[in-house]
Amino acid sequence: MAGEVRPDEHDDPVAAVLFARSSGARLALATSGTTCAVPRRVLRTTESWWASFPAYSRLTGVTRGARVWVPGPLTATMNLFAAVHARWAGAEMVREPVSATHACLTPAQLERRGAELPRGARVVVAGARLPEQVAEEARRWGLRLDHYYGAAELSFVAASSGDHLLRPFPGVQVEIRDLPVPGTIWVRSPWVCEGYDGPPGSLLRTPDGWASVGDLGRLDDGVLEVRGRAEAVVTAGATVLVADVEAVLAPAARGAVVVHGVVHPTMGQLVAVALTDEADRGPLERLARERLPVSHRPRVWRVLPDLPLTDAGKVDRAALGG
């Protein structure tokens, strides 16, 4: 290997990735989840991206002549991958959605800006869950939706095409295991990164090639349901996994459902829920009383016109709890 390339430190991150490819260098990709003083970077070979390009082309329909819109900075791994793939495929990156034939968005970006795309545009949505209301609105706008789930460390894990049911991405094996907690998603694939440059992160490995970032889910007849990261709210001495609460509430909601913690002076934290659809609140409060133990029932409910987002277009849970 000829060293490392950090695309986010270059004026043209796509050109930096192409240089890494031609020189044999590894990619050192900044991660949006780093909160420590020393930045954490994901190390991967360029081949771990290039070898997945044909399958990504089949998923997205991005080929020569396509015009691809990817909002947000190219410092975000998802955006950079889409831009590099577009260059590889002979597609053009466009700045405005109105001129796009294709787009790569998070669910929150689709909800906020999907209506700006022309009818007939093809959108690939990157995220663990695509809310049904958002998907319905996108179909009313005349958009074609595909969906994938992955992580910066794992790259692609599962994808859907048309039916929004996630199935293992080509070349990827998926298992649900009881470690480190029951329901953890493990994968084995050629797209997994090599590790980190900087502080350790959430990536776990086994000697036989399996890897996990701690996301939880279910695998039923080849269909993967992702419940999210094993984040927890500690309230009155009880540890409540965010994924356990979202697993009950989110499937019954039309809009977004984000469970998080808010600081409380005596209980430490309270379980809170942020919604984007006022009509969801009453039914979900009743569902919580019926289906969740007392310790897991949200004590704070808020309906927000827009959820706070990170630069990468993902929901900013830290901002919700602030």
Residue 204 lies in a domain: no
pLDDT at residue 1 in the model: 46
Degrees, nearest 5: CA angle 206-208-210:
55
Q: For residues 214 and 241, give the distance between their C-alpha atoms in angstroms, rounded to a whole number.
A: 12
Residue 200 lies in a domain: no
Residue 191 lies in a domain: no
Q: Which of 113, 138, 166 is the last residue of a domain?
A: 166
Q: Cβ atoms within 10 A of the Cβ of 121, count?
A: 21
Give the model confidence (pLDDT) of 158-198 as tens digits: 999 777 799 999 999 999 999 888 899 999 999 999 999 98
Domain that holds residue 238: 231-321
Statement to judge: residues 239 and 148 lie in one domain: no
Residue 171 lies in a domain: no
Statement to judge: residues 158 and 18 lie in one domain: yes
Statement to judge: residues 239 and 116 lie in one domain: no
Alpha helices (H) in 149-250, listed in sequence order: 242-249
Degrees, nearest 5: CA angle 175-177-179:
140
Average pLDDT rounded to a whole number, residues 228-232: 77
Number of domains comprising the chain: 2
Residue 122 lies in a domain: yes
Give the model confidence (pLDDT) of 125-155 as tens digits: 998 888 888 889 999 999 999 999 999 999 9
pTM of the predicted protein model: 0.79
Statement to judge: residues 133 and 251 lie in one domain: no
Q: Which of 124, 141, 166 is the last residue of a domain?
A: 166
Give, for 268, the enclosing helix (H) or strand (E). Answer: strand 268-275
Q: Which CATH number do you get for residue 157?
A: 3.40.50.980
Q: For residues 36 and 169, give the distance between their C-alpha atoms in angstroms, rounded to a whole number.
A: 32
Q: Taking 80 as the threshold, does the pLDDT of residue 230 lie above it? A: no
Residue 189 lies in a domain: no
pLDDT at residue 243 in the model: 83
Least confident range of 65-69, 123-127, 259-263: 259-263
Q: Is residue 294 within 8 Å of residue 270, measured between CB atoms? A: no
Least confident range of 3-17, 95-109, 197-211, 308-322: 308-322
Q: For residues 70 and 120, give the distance between their C-alpha atoms in angstroms, rounded to a whole number.
A: 17
Average pLDDT rounded to a whole number, residues 57-86: 94
pLDDT at residue 38 in the model: 58
Q: Which CATH number do you get for residue 260?
A: 3.30.300.30
Statement to judge: residues 160 and 237 lie in one domain: no
Q: Taking 50 as the threshold, does the pLDDT of residue 35 lie above it? A: no
Per cent of the chain over pLDDT 90 is 64
Statement to judge: residues 135 and 250 lie in one domain: no
Work out the pLDDT band at 322, boundaries 50, 70, 90.
low
Residue 85 lies in a domain: yes
Statement to judge: residues 295 and 161 lie in one domain: no
Q: Which of 132, 166, 200 is the last residue of a domain?
A: 166
Give, for 49, the enclosing helix (H) or strand (E). Answer: helix 47-50
Residue 296 lies in a domain: yes
